[in-house]
Amino acid sequence: MKLNIEGLLVYFPYDYIYPEQYSYMLELKRTLDAKGHGVLEMPSGTGKTISLLSLIVAYQREYPLEVTKLIYCSRTVPEIEKVVEELRKLMEFYSKETGEKNNILALALSSRKNLCVHPEVSSLRFGKEVDGKCHSLTASYIRAQRHSNPSLPSCRFYEEFDAMGKQVPLPAGVYNLDDLKDFGRRKGWCPYYLARYSILHANIIVYSYHYLLDPKIADLVSKELSKKSVVVFDEAHNIDNVCIDSMSVNITRRTLDRSQANVETLQNTILKIKETDAAKLKEEYRRLVEGLKEANVARETDIYMSNPVLPDEILQEAVPGSIRTAEHFVGFMKRFLEYLKARLRIHHVVQESAPQFLKDIFEKVCIDRKPLRFCAERLRSLLRTLEIADIADFSAITLISNFATLVSTYSKGFTIIIEPFEDRTPTIANPVLHFSCMDPSIAIKPVFERFQSVIITSGTLSPLDIYPRILDFRPVTVASFTMTLARTCLCPLVVGRGNDQVAMTSKFETREDFAVIRNYGNLLLEMSAIVPDGIVAFFTSYTYMENIVASWYEQGILENVQRNKLIFIETPDAAETSMALEKYQEACENGRGAILLSVARGKVSEGIDFVHHFGRAVIMFGVPYVYTQSRILKARLEYLRDQFQIRENDFLTFDAMRHAAQCVGRAIRGKTDYGLMIFADKRYARADKRGKLPRWIQEHLTDGSLNLTIDETVQLSKHFLRQMAHSIHDISNCNVQCFCQLNLSQEDQLGLSLLTLEQLQSEDMLQKIAQIAHQA
Amino acid sequence: MDDQGCPRCKTTKYRNPSLKLMVNVCGHTLCESCVDMLFVRGSGNCVQCDTPLRKSNFRVQLFEDPAVDKEVEIRKKVLKIYNKRDFDFSNLREYNDYLERVEEIVYNLTNNLEVEGTKQIMEAYQRENRDIIQKNKAKLTREQEELEELLLLEQQGNEQRRLETLQEEQRQLQAKRKSKQALLDELERSHVPATILLAQHKDRAAQLETQIEKQKQVVKTTIFSTGIPMGQTVSLLTVNRLEEVLYHYQPIHMHTYGPPVPELEQLGRLGYLNHVRTAQPQDMAGGYNSGLACHRAIQDAFSGLFHPLG
C-alpha cells in the first residue's frame, strides 16, 4: 500500500495498516523534519519496526541529502535478524511497486564470533577467544612479519579481502549475518571486515547498542559515520543501564593479580626486546616524544584502539615525559597496581569521589593526574610495540588502564566504592572496587551530539518524561501510542487481598508472612484451574522465588497445582533455563498446560515472547524493586536527586514499574493475541504506581479491576477468557455456547483496528488517528 | 598478604595477624619486633644487604612489594628537589623532557644503577636551582589546584545538604511540639467535649503530616535547565544607555608670568639640545628622545620664575 504522510510517499509492504502505525509514522516524520530527537512509545506487537523502517527508507529516498544513513540499534542477535527480515520484505515491495532495481545497501553487523568463516577460528566457543585468535592472524605487524617470513599462519579470508575487497563496494541489497557469511565464503573475503568496511557507505546498518554506546567499541566501529544519520534505539527501555554498564569498571583482587602477571610479562618482554631489537623501542619513544598520533594505516585490525572517551585536546597532546619510556611506564603501572592492592585491603566500606581518589593517590604513591589520563593510550602503544599477539591475556591490565583514564578524566558523575565483602557473605573477604558511573548521559552524549536525529522507542517507556531527564537531552517529539483494538484483548487486574482479606504484598516487612505466601499460592492454584494452556508467573528475585516455592511445597500447594498444570522454573543458569523453556513450550503445545515460574529482570522477562497459547496469563507476584541497599544504587539515587532533581522514590518506582510492564507485556504480542495480566500486590492500586504503567495498559485498568480478592479475580478472569474464546461473530449473533476457539478473523478487525487505504483516507478516521498519539 | 613474613624470624601474617612489617631505604623488610631487637642502639646494618641503616628511617610497609615502598620513599625525596612546575618551562616539550629526567633519576636510585653519579647530578641540580626550589615549595601544580578546588566544592555541597536536612528536621519537630501544646491548652480551657477536640487534633496532625510529606518531596532545584545556577542573578532587562557628552580635551594653559617657554619643536633649533646628553638607541626604541627630558627641565626652570609676590 502506498501512503501519503504529510506529503511524503511511503511504501508500506502490507495491504492493511493499523491506525497507530499511521500515527507513529506521522510523528516520526515530524521528528525527522525538525532534525531533532524523539521518544516514542508504542505497544509491542503493533508493528513498530516496519513503521520505522518504511518511513525512514521513504524519507531517505525522498531527501537523499538530508538523511544519508539509518543506524538501527537493537539488543540481541535474533532481534537484529528480525529487523533485517522486515527490511527485506520492504525492499521486495519496493522493487515490485516501482519496477526498478533498488540501490539501497542494508546490512547487519555483529561480533567476529557471529561472522567469522575461518574454519579454525570460527569453531572457538567464546567471543573473546575468537577475537584474540583473529587478531593474532590479522594484526598489522603480524602481517608485516609475514613479508619476511611467509611460513607464519595467516587468514586467507582477510588477506583476500585486503587485496581485493576494498575496490569494489558490496552490491546493493539486504544482507543479514548469514548472507554476509555466504557472500564472504563465495568470494573468499572475510565477512566481518567486509561488513565493517561497508558500513561506511551502507544506507542502513543494523547492529547492537554497544557499537554506539560503549566508548571502547564505538571509537573503533562507528567513528566515521556521517552526521546526517538517523539513529534508532529499539527496545530502549533499559538504555540507561546499558550506558552505565559501558562506563563502569569493577576491579577485584583477581583482576589485580592477573594484571600483576601481565605487568611481569610486559617487563620480561621489554628486556628481551631490548636485547634483540632495541630500535623498535626507540622508534616508539621517538613517536611519543613527537606526540604524533599513530598513523591511520595500522588502525583497522588493531583492537587496541579501544579508548574510553577522552577529550580531544588531550589526544592531540604528547604523552607526559614520566611515562614515555617503556620501563618507566611499567614502573608506573606497578605503583598504580600496588596502590590499588593496598586500597583493597580494607575492613570497612569506603566511598569516595574521583578527586578524593586522585588526591590520595598523589599523596601515597606520587602519581599525578596527567600520566594517569594517558594510561590507556600509553598501554595500547606499548602492547603494539611489543607485538604481543594474544591480547586476550591482557584484558586485566587493559581494564586497569581504562579505569585509570576514566578516573582522571571525569571528576563528576562517577563514584568509587570499595567493599571488603559481598553483602550476602559478610565473613568471606572478597574486596571489590566499583568504579561506577552514575550518569547515563555521559555515555550517550556523543550520540546525541553527533547525529541529527536519535529516536528512542520501545513498548514500555512510561513515564515518558523521565528518559529525556536521565539521558539529558531535549526531544522534539515525545509521544505514546495506544493499541486500537477490535475487542479488549488484554485484561489487567490488580489483586490486593486474599480470600481471608489479608493484604497481599511483597513489601519487605510482610514478605515472609505465612498468610501472604499462602495467598500467593492460592492465587496461582485458582488461576491454574481456569486458564487454558500457559501461565507465566514472575517473582521479584531469585531468593524470594526460592523461599516461596519451598514453602508452597511444604503447604502442599505445588502438589495441587500440578494436578492442573506442569511447573517449570527459571534458574540463573542459562542452559537450564532454556531447557525449562523448551519443555514449557512443549507442554503448552500438546495441551497439557504449564506454568513457568521466573524472575523479573531475568532472561525470560526481557527477551522471550509468549505468543498466543504460550502465555494466556501473566502473574506478577510483588513489585520488582531493585535491591535498594546496594551502595552503588544509593550513590546513583543521590546523584539523580542532586543533578537531575529526580526523587529517589520516583526513580525506584519508575524502575520497578518499567520492569513490571516488561514482564506482563510478554503475553500480548499482537492484536489477535489475548491474555490476562495479574498484578498481585496491593501497592499496584496506588495512583503513583498505576500512573507509571504504559498507557496502553492503563487504559484497560478501570477502578473495577483494582484491589480485588482472589475470588473476584477468578470471576473476572473466567468471564474474560470465555469472551475471548469466542470469535466476535459468535458473541454478537448466537446464543449457543460455542467452545471452539477461533482466531480473530480479519473482517472483524477491518475498519476498527486494521485499515485499508480507502478507510485510511476517510475524513473521520484521520480525525481518530490524530487522537491516538498522546503527547506527553 | 597472608604469605608475607619476616625474613629473619620467619613469622608470617597468617600465624600472627598483628604482624607489622617495616621497610627501610634499602627496600628490605623486617618485622617490628626484629627491628626493635636489632636496632636497639639506633643504627645497624640490613640483614640482607648490609647497608648501614638507622632505626628512625624504618617505615610501616604499605605495599605488598617492598620495592614499591622503597621507590615511593625515594621518589618523594627526589620530588622535593625536582619541584619545577609546568609553568616554569617555556613549552610542553621541555617540561616533558624534564619529567623524563626526573623519572630516570628515580629509576636509577631504585634499581641501584649508577647511584653515585645520579646523586652527584642531583646535588649539582640542587645547587644550581636553589632559588626555584625554595620558591616552588609552597606551590601546587595547576592540576592539583584544580583538584583542591573540586574537593572544596564537594565538601561545601555536602555540608550544605547536611545543614538543610538538619534544619528541616528541626522545623518539623517544632511544628509537632507546637500542635501538641495547642491541644493541651485547648483541653484545659475550651468547653467543647474532649472527643471533638481530639478528633480535630487528629485531623490537624494528619494535615501537618501530609504537608511535611509534600515539602519533603519538593526537591530544591539548584540550577536552571540552561545550566545557570540559581541564586546567581541574571538580569534580562536591557541595559540602559547613558547619554553623556564626549570628553573634550582642552590643552592646559600655563601662565608663567615671564618670557614664553620654548616649544618642544623649537628646542633643537634654538640649540638647547646641544647641552644635554644625546639619547642612546636603546632609549629611542621605547619612544624616548632627548627633547622630552630637556623640554620638561626647561618648563620646570621657567615656571614660577617671575611669580608676582603677594
pLDDT-derived band at A520, boundaries 50, 70, 90: very high
pLDDT number for residue B153: 84
Q: Cα distance from A698 to chain B (closest Cα, Å)?
A: 25
Residues A568-581 pLDDT 10s: 999 988 889 989 99
Residues A132-189 pLDDT 10s: 888 888 877 778 778 788 777 888 888 888 888 777 788 888 999 999 999 988 888 8
Three-state DSSP class for residue B104: helix
Q: Which of B149, B219, B226 is the mutation pick for testing A, counting most A CBs within 10 A? A: B219
A434 neighbors A250 (Cβ within 8 angstroms): yes
| Mean local confidence (pLDDT), A83-87 | 92
CATH architecture of the domain covering B13-134: 2-Layer Sandwich (3.30)
Q: Is A267 on the interface with B (CB under 8 A)?
A: no
Question: Cβ contact (<8 Å) for B68 and A289?
Answer: no
Residues of B in contact with A334 (CB under 8 A): 65, 68
pLDDT number for residue A47: 85
Question: Cβ contact (<8 Å) for A355 and B147?
Answer: yes
- Strand boundaries in chain B, DSSP class E: 21-23, 29-31, 43-45, 52-54, 59-60
Across the interface, of A342, A358, A359, the residue whose CB is closest to B63 is A342
Residues of B with CB under 8 A from a CB of A: 1, 62-65, 68, 71-72, 75-76, 79, 92-93, 95-104, 107, 110, 141, 143-144, 147-148, 150-151, 154, 157, 161, 217, 219, 221-222
CA pair distance A697, A712, nearest whole angstrom:
20
pLDDT number for residue A730: 41
Per the DSSP assignment, residues forming a β-bridge with B303 are none
CA pair distance A606, A259, nearest whole angstrom:
35
Q: Which residue of B has its CA nearest to A362?
A: B144
pLDDT number for residue A629: 82
Question: Cβ contact (<8 Å) for B107 and A328?
Answer: yes
Question: Cβ contact (<8 Å) for A321 and B68?
Answer: no
Q: Cα distance from B237 to chain A (closest Cα, Å)?
A: 27
Three-state DSSP class for residue B53: strand
Is the pLDDT score of A536 beyond 90? yes
Residues of B in contact with A445 (CB under 8 A): none
Q: Cα distance from A293 to chain B (closest Cα, Å)?
A: 16
**DSSP type of residue B85:** -
Residues A44-62 pLDDT 10s: 878 889 999 999 999 998 8
Who wins on pLDDT, A556 or B50? A556
Residues B224-234 pLDDT 10s: 666 565 655 55
Residues A279-298 pLDDT 10s: 877 877 777 776 545 444 34
Which triple of cell numbers denotes residue A657?
514499574
Q: Cα distance from B65 to chain A (closest Cα, Å)?
A: 7
Q: Which of A267, A366, A651 is the mutation pick for testing B, counting most B CBs within 10 A? A: A366
Q: Which residue of A has its CA nearest to B216?
A: A647
Q: What percent of chain A lies above the pLDDT cut of 70?
A: 91
pLDDT number for residue A560: 94
Is the pLDDT score of A615 beyond 80? yes
Residues A436-489 pLDDT 10s: 999 888 888 888 888 889 999 998 888 888 899 889 898 888 888 888 777 788
Across the interface, of B76, B100, B150, the residue whose CB is closest to A325 is B100
pLDDT number for residue B224: 63
Q: Across chain A, which distance is largest between two alpha carbons, in Å?
A: 96
Residues of B in contact with A653 (CB under 8 A): none
CA pair distance A35, A476, nearest whole angstrom:
9
Question: Cβ contact (<8 Å) for A322 and B103?
Answer: yes
Q: Is A250 on the interface with B (CB under 8 A)?
A: no
Which triple of cell numbers denotes residue A216?
571502547
Which triple of cell numbers denotes residue B248?
573634550
Three-state DSSP class for residue A497: strand
Q: Cα distance from A216 to chain B (closest Cα, Å)?
A: 26
Is the pLDDT score of B4 beyond 80? no
Q: Cα distance from B188 to chain A (closest Cα, Å)?
A: 41
Nearest in space to A701 (alpha carbons), one of A722, A686, A718: A686
Is the pLDDT score of B12 beyond 90? no
Question: Cβ contact (<8 Å) for A321 and B103?
Answer: yes
| Mean local confidence (pLDDT), B96-105 | 88
Residues of A in contact with B215 (CB under 8 A): none
Q: Which residue of B has its CA nearest to A356?
A: B151
Is the pLDDT score of A311 beyond 60? no
Is the pLDDT score of A88 beyond 80? yes
**What mean pLDDT value characterizes chain A?**
84
Q: Which of B18, B70, B91, B147 is the mutation pick for testing A, counting most A CBs within 10 A? A: B147
Is the pLDDT score of A367 beyond 80? yes
Instruction: Kindly give the interhelix angle for B194-217 and B142-189, rounded to the nearest 10 degrees.
Output: 170
Q: Is A324 on the interface with B (CB under 8 A)?
A: yes
Q: Which of B80, B81, B96 is the mutation pick for testing A, counting most A CBs within 10 A? A: B96
Q: Which residue of B has its CA nearest to A325?
A: B100
pLDDT-derived band at A307, boundaries 50, 70, 90: very low
Distances (CA, A) of B177 to A70, B172, B202: 64, 9, 14
Question: Cβ contact (<8 Å) for A317 and B92?
Answer: yes
Question: Cβ contact (<8 Å) for B96 and A339?
Answer: no
Residues A126-146 pLDDT 10s: 888 888 888 888 877 778 778
Across the interface, of A321, A323, A334, the residue whose CB is closest to B68 is A334
Across the interface, of B1, B97, B141, the residue whose CB is closest to A345 is B1
Residues of A in contact with B97 (CB under 8 A): 321
Who wins on pLDDT, B215 or A679? A679
Three-state DSSP class for residue B148: helix
Which residues have CB under 8 Å from B226's CB, separation 6+? none
User: Is the bond into A431 cis (omega within 30 degrees of 0)?
Assistant: no
Q: Cα distance from A339 to chain B (closest Cα, Å)?
A: 7
- Counted across chains A and B, CB pairs separated by less than 8 A come out at 87
**Distance between start and end Cα atoms, chain B:** 100
Q: Is A367 on the interface with B (CB under 8 A)?
A: no
Distances (CA, A) of A243 to A135, A231, A273, A470: 27, 16, 40, 11
pLDDT number for residue A773: 64
Residues A693-735 pLDDT 10s: 988 888 888 888 888 999 999 999 999 998 888 755 444 333 3
CA pair distance B32, A472, nearest whole angstrom:
55
| ipTM exceeds 0.90, yes or no | no
Residues B150-177 pLDDT 10s: 888 888 888 888 888 889 889 888 988 9
pLDDT number for residue A558: 93
Residue carrying the nine cell digits 582477510: A158
pLDDT number for residue A739: 32
Residues of A in contact with B101 (CB under 8 A): 321
Q: Cα distance from A328 to chain B (closest Cα, Å)?
A: 7
DSSP string, A380-446: HHHHHHTT---GGGGHHHHHHHHHHHHHHH-SSSEEEEEESS-SS-TTS---EEEEEE--HHHHHHH
DSSP string, A453-481: EEEEEES---STTHHHHHHT--EEEEEE-
Q: Which residue of B has its CA nearest to A469?
A: B225
Residues of B in contact with A331 (CB under 8 A): 71, 107, 110
pLDDT number for residue A594: 94
Residues B186-199 pLDDT 10s: 888 888 888 888 88
Q: Which residue of A has its CA nearest to B221?
A: A645
**DSSP type of residue A171:** P
The domain segmentation of chain B, as residue ranges, is 13-134
Question: Cβ contact (<8 Å) for A342 and B96?
Answer: no
Question: Cβ contact (<8 Å) for A335 and B102?
Answer: no
Across the interface, of A356, A362, A368, the residue whose CB is closest to B151 is A356
Distances (CA, A) of A61 to A4, A5, A15, A168: 14, 14, 21, 23
CA pair distance A776, A462, nearest whole angstrom:
10
Who wins on pLDDT, A770 or A378? A378
Question: Cβ contact (<8 Å) for A365 and B68?
Answer: yes
**DSSP type of residue A162:** I
